[in-house]
Amino acid sequence: MIRKLKRRFIILALTSLFLLLALIVVGMNWLNYRSVIDEADETLTLISENKGEFPVSMTGGRSAEIAFESRYFSLLINPKTGDVVQYNLAQIYAVGVNTATSYTEEVLSDNKYEGFVEDYRFKVNWEQGYVRVTFLDLGRKLEQFRDSLLFSIFASLAGYLVTAIIICVLAGRFVRPVAESYERQKRFITDAGHEIKTPLTIISANVDVLSMDIGENESLTDIRDQTKRLAGLTNDLVYLARMEEAQDTMPMVDFPVSEVVADTAGPFATLAQSQKKTLTLQIEPMLTMCGNDKAISRLVSIMLDNAIKYSPEESSIVLQLGKQGRHIQLTVSNVSSVPIDFENLKHVFERFYRMDASRNSSTGGHGIGLSMAQAIVENHGGKISAATPDGSTFVINATLPA
């Protein structure tokens, strides 16, 4: 339980940190990239509207130095023939006429008005019946952007790894108060359970003595029944506490799970028949698993006891055991005698929870059976879930490692 809590804390903290860093890196670099593109588009618009050259007088608050810093070229194309009518390559030396023409043909074939050809940002506009394609070299700025992107990624990963190490080291301190409270709770349940057993035994013995002296009567019967009920509840609470404590110490061996389930479920068929119910067993033979056979037997008993108690007369209960891939599926389904909704399903594995609002204990249950079932399954590294496919059928499904 505590290890699981610590693991969940680490996963939640690291996931939150990763998402935060990813958001910062993506947002920062996206703004940087958009700044480069917006500035390039503004420059291309200025050149395109001035017949492929910078205007002699720079206006609009832009620095005149940009005309000397920008490396660009433009071509004027006849759209009917595709011939180059005019070109300006004076501001760039890395691109010749043939290269510029091939870039232009690629742009016109894609039918795009702006975009990229390699590291050149281009813009297409009409000029007196001709098509002018202007290219601006963004190689240096894109290289700077890529360097900034890689640096931010590596810096974020380094910070993430350092923080992850710190979180993993200090996680125990963060969950220590919860762990101490949880340990005190389990210790209290175990100690109280042992202390309660003695007076319960004395009460039961005195009731037997009184029944021999004055005979059986309704009061003695009620005392005996409630004593048995309290003893059962105490035993279940102690067992649940031990199961939670034994998460890493429970002995696990290979055993024939098909035989254990069949042997445990067999007597429940007679119990179901006595209550005018039918129990059907669908057990795949010769299955084995690594686990604790006594705990699995207890799991089957809990699931069947729950199904029989909370199903109406003349109904059918089905237990299925089979192998699916690398897992063993143990499923018990029954028609529920109380309405089932999604809200109830979220709480069925909580201690002392009952699906009927009155919490009627006439069935003899304590409301912690499914909590014990959950502890057993989780101790085996499996998962347990509850479902209601049609609103009236209650299905408990336990997935156990084979």
What lies within 8 Å, CB to CB, of 376 at 6+ separation is: 243, 295, 296, 298, 299, 302
How many other CB atoms are found less than 10 A from the CB of residue 267?
11
The two tokens of residue 391 are 């609103």
Give the mean model confidence (pLDDT) for residues 17-22: 94
pLDDT of 316 > 80? The answer is yes
CATH for 250-401 is 3.30.565.10
pLDDT value of position 369: 80
- For residue 19, is pLDDT > 90? yes
Q: Is the torsion defined by CA of 14, 326, 334, 359 positive or negative?
A: negative
360-370 average pLDDT score: 62
List of residues 6+ apart from 298 with CB closer than 8 A: 239, 372, 376
Query: Quick check: 350 pLDDT over 60?
Result: yes
- For the ranges 42-46, 218-222, 310-314, 358-362, which has the lowest average pLDDT? 358-362
Is the pTM higher than 0.85? The answer reads: no
**Strand, helix or coil for residue 329:** strand
* Average pLDDT score over residue span 322-334: 92
Structure tokens that stand for 165 in this block: 């190490």
Give residue 46's pLDDT: 86
pLDDT of 390 over the 50 cut = yes
- Answer left, alpha or beta for residue 57, where phi above 0 means left and psi between -120 and 50 means alpha: beta
- Asked whether 318 and 333 are in contact (CB, 8 A), the reply is yes
- Quick one: DSSP state of residue 283? E
**Domain boundaries along the sequence of the chain:** 2-143, 250-401
Under the banding of pLDDT at 50, 70 and 90, the label for residue 354 is low
Q: Is 247's pLDDT higher than 60? A: no
- The reported pLDDT for the residue numbered 397 is 92
| Better-predicted residue by pLDDT, 242 or 294 | 294
How confident is residue 142, by pLDDT bands cut at 50, 70 and 90? Answer: very high
Tens of pLDDT along 66-102? 777 788 999 988 888 888 888 888 888 888 889 989 9
Q: pLDDT value at position 246?
A: 58
- Judged against a pLDDT cut of 90, whether residue 161 lies above it is answered with yes
Report the distance separating Cα 14 and Cα 274, nearest Å: 55
Q: What is the pLDDT of residue 222?
A: 80
Q: What is the mean pLDDT of residues 212-229?
A: 80
Between CA 330 and CA 320 the distance in angstroms is 6
Q: Around Cβ 63, how many Cβ atoms within 10 Å?
A: 9
Q: Return the sign of the alpha-carbon dihedral for residues 258, 261, 263, 265.
A: negative
Q: Considering the chain, what percentage of its residues have pLDDT values greater than 90? A: 32
**Mean pLDDT value across residues 298-315:** 90
At 358, the pLDDT band (50, 70, 90 cuts) reads: very low
Residue 55 banded pLDDT, cuts 50, 70, 90: confident
